[in-house]
Amino acid sequence: MRCMRLDKLVAGTGISRQDAKKLIAGGRVTVDGKVQKDPGFSVTEANEVSVGGESITHKAHIHIMIHKPGGVLTATEDARGQKTVADFLPFAFFKRKIGPVGRLDKDVTGLVLMTTDGQLAHRLISPKWEVTKRYRAVVEGKLDEECVLAFKTGIEFKDFTAKPAGLEILSANEDESVCLVYVTEGKFHQVKRMLQAVGHPVKHLHREKIAMIELDESLAEGEWRELTDSEIHDLYVLTEMNEDG
Ligand code: URA
């Protein structure tokens, strides 16, 4: 059973550690029904923690964004003990079965959405819903208009033909170029394979945006926050789902 400081768990609801400490000192936080004023009190997933009378483990659904660092798996656990995005999140979320909305390769950085709403996750990654993902890539060599056209047309691979995608060149030099890539599907290594196919192997790939949700610039690698009510609302409208279940 994983242990965590009470102030860290409370801060995990999206407030600063300082504010969490104030709430705890002010007697607003209970553990298993009893007021707990020690911010360093150790809690496990077995404890029921409430702030101002509201359980922080029992919201209808939890939706978060995390800034995934490189070298970390987009998974909630790994049998071989490799670091996963779950290592950055409060364990209370896993009691609620939060999971990632699609995956980024281990070396890829950037936006990962995580939700306890499996149907929402499914629609956001299903090719049928054509949700656009925006990536920033640093590639080898000089990108040109032919690459843009190839992306627009749809690149053919042995195992699938990529749907038409957007390629916006931000800078292009003989040794290195920087671009934005817009795709609506998420085949294995898709963006890397598309850029490789037009002759420009990827040096670094970073996801900036999924649908209308942009990675919050204030989040350093490994940091996360809950989605705002308006971000959640937008995702439910986009996927034609009812927010209230
Ligand atoms: N495309 C890739 O090649 N890798 C990712 O992680 C995401 C998109």
For residue 70, report the distance from its CA to the centre of ligand 1, in Å: 12
Does residue 63 line the site of ligand 1, with CB under 6 A? no
For residue 104, report the distance from its CA to the centre of ligand 1, in Å: 6
Tell me the pLDDT tens digit for each residue of 172-221: 999 999 999 999 999 999 999 999 999 999 999 999 999 999 999 999 99
Does residue 139 line the site of ligand 1, with CB under 6 A? no
* Predicted local distance difference test score (pLDDT) of residue 1: 45
- CB-based contact 105:72 (threshold 8 Å): no
Question: Is there a catalytic annotation at residue 105?
Answer: yes
- CB-based contact 43:197 (threshold 8 Å): no
Residue 227 has a CB neighbour count (10 Å cut-off) of 20
- CB-based contact 96:116 (threshold 8 Å): yes
Which ligand 1 atom lies nearest to the CA of residue 186? 8
Residue 8 neighbours by CB under 8 Å, 6+ apart: 17, 20, 90
| Nearest protein Cα to ligand 1, atom 7 | 104
* Predicted local distance difference test score (pLDDT) of residue 47: 79
Is this model's pTM higher than 0.85 or not? no
Question: Over 80: is that where the pLDDT of 2 sits?
Answer: no
Does residue 4 line the site of ligand 1, with CB under 6 A? no
Which ligand 1 atom lies nearest to the CA of residue 189? 3
For residue 211, report the distance from its CA to the centre of ligand 1, in Å: 16
For residue 141, report the distance from its CA to the centre of ligand 1, in Å: 19
Q: What is the mean pLDDT of residues 2-26?
A: 85
Task: Report the alpha-carbon distance of residue 240 to residue 137 in Å, rounded.
Answer: 31
For the chain, what is the mean pLDDT? 92
Using most ligand atoms within 8 A of CB, pick from 101, 125, 139, 191 the residue to mutate for ligand 1: 191
Tell me the pLDDT tens digit for each residue of 16-55: 888 899 999 999 999 988 999 999 999 876 678 899 888 7
Task: Single out the catalytic residue among 19, 105, 144, 216.
Answer: 105
